[in-house]
Amino acid sequence: MSSDWPLWEVFIRAKGGLAHRHVGSVHAPDQELALRHARDTYTRRLEGVSLWVVKSTDIVASDPDEAGPLFEPAEDKIYRHPTFYDIPDEVKHI
Amino acid sequence: MPVADELADDPLEDAYYDYLLRIGDDALILGQRLSEWCGHAPSVEVDLSLANMALDLIGQATHILNQANNGDGDELAFKRDVLDSTWQHLLFQQLAESRDPFLSAIASKAVKEVAYHRELASEWTVRLGDGTDESAARMRDALDWCWRFVPELFEVDEALEEMIARQTVPDPRSFEREYRAAIGDVLAEAKLEMPADQRPILGGRRGHHSEHLGHLLAVMQYLPRTYPDAVW
């Protein structure tokens, strides 16, 4: 049953040149079937040209309790944003 | 002269028409059978795999039966997997080279779909055959049951003989050895034994079916019979 199967995180590259993006997860008994389940579940409508699956337990996640020290120091550093440049229209996905 | 031009004068020319009905019905019935699993698989992922394959097959059937019926397949239309997808894959690979432009086009498209069906069905066969005692026993039973229908896939009758003679379609016997070897490989990996040959069930191509077909058709015909004008 699927409850006995490990969880896999699914990443899709929408088209050449773009990065893989996380789209969701699937249950599967092993890595080959995880890829097939990801294909059957998440690429039914031409969503992408490449798939990655990663065992959920292999992902190292940050601790939500440490969100303060991890992320808040960036809040007042607006000079790190490239907002002082004009970005050409041709440049998408920046 | 291209085959399609010859046939254009007489689109329902018997052997060609029969052939379209056969490969169209193969896809339609397996598609309907697979769709019956929807909601019964052990996980939503497997449900989707089965429904995706069913939709591929019903799409193939729609194209083929539409061609057989001059563009209206619904009237005709609403009239098991590793074994069939392997056969379909071998057939469509060759059919993609057909002299007939329609058969060549539909086979070129379908060959990618059935290649995936074949891989998925083979992977599941391996996992279930080489799984638990229970899954292995069920696979053996299923294989034993389905094996008697395999010889019909390679049967050549007069109608098919005629199509083969015109080099419009491949002779299925030309890939029977490859088929048996491919199934043998999957079974070996699944730690399942090749079933012993049984008395084959033949005659489906001539309209001789088991009682299952009546129930199947009743389900398939329910909607158009109850709501003749239904569209979606």
- pLDDT above 90 (res B174): yes
* pLDDT at residue B187, rounded to an integer: 94
Q: Do B52 and A32 touch (CB under 8 A)?
A: no
Mean pLDDT by 10 residues, chain A (94 residues): 84 94 95 95 94 97 92 85 80 74
Q: Do A29 and B52 touch (CB under 8 A)?
A: no
Classify residue B5: in a domain, yes or no: no
Strand partners, A9: A25, A54
Q: Do A2 and B120 touch (CB under 8 A)?
A: no
Question: Which residue matches tokens 């907002």?
Answer: A83
Topology adopted by domain A2-60: Ubiquitin-like (UB roll) (3.10.20)
DSSP 8-state assignment for residue B194? P
pLDDT over 70 percentage in chain B = 90
d(CA B14, CA B208) in angstroms, rounded, equals: 19
Among the listed residues A31, A51, A39, A37, the one whose alpha carbon sits nearest the alpha carbon of residue B46: A37
Mean pLDDT over B82-102 rounds to 91
CATH code, domain carrying B100: 1.20.1260.10
Confidence band for B72, pLDDT divided at 50, 70 and 90 = low
pLDDT in tens, B20-59: 989 999 999 989 988 888 888 888 888 899 899 999 999 9
Strand partners, A50: A13
Classify residue B229: in a domain, yes or no: no
Among the listed residues B22, B17, B52, the one whose alpha carbon sits nearest the alpha carbon of residue B38: B52
pLDDT in tens, B108-167: 999 999 999 999 989 989 998 998 998 899 888 888 888 998 999 999 998 899 999 988
DSSP for chain A reads -GGGSPEEEEEEE-STTSPEEEEEEEE-SSHHHHHHHHHHHH-TTS--SEEEEEEGGG-----GGGHHHHHGGGTT-GGGS-TTSPPPTT----
Nearest neighbour of A37 by CB, restricted to B42, B45, B119? B45
Tally of structural domains, chain B: 1
Q: The domain containing residue B83 runs over which residues?
A: 11-224
- pLDDT above 60 (res B12): no
* pLDDT at residue B11, rounded to an integer: 45
Q: Do A26 and B120 touch (CB under 8 A)?
A: no
Q: What is the largest CA-CA distance in chain B?
A: 58
The full set of domain ranges for chain A reads: 2-60
What are the chain A neighbours of B42 within 8 Å (beta carbons)? 1-2
CA distance B107 to chain A (A): 21
What are the chain A neighbours of B123 within 8 Å (beta carbons)? 32-33, 36
CA distance B125 to chain A (A): 12
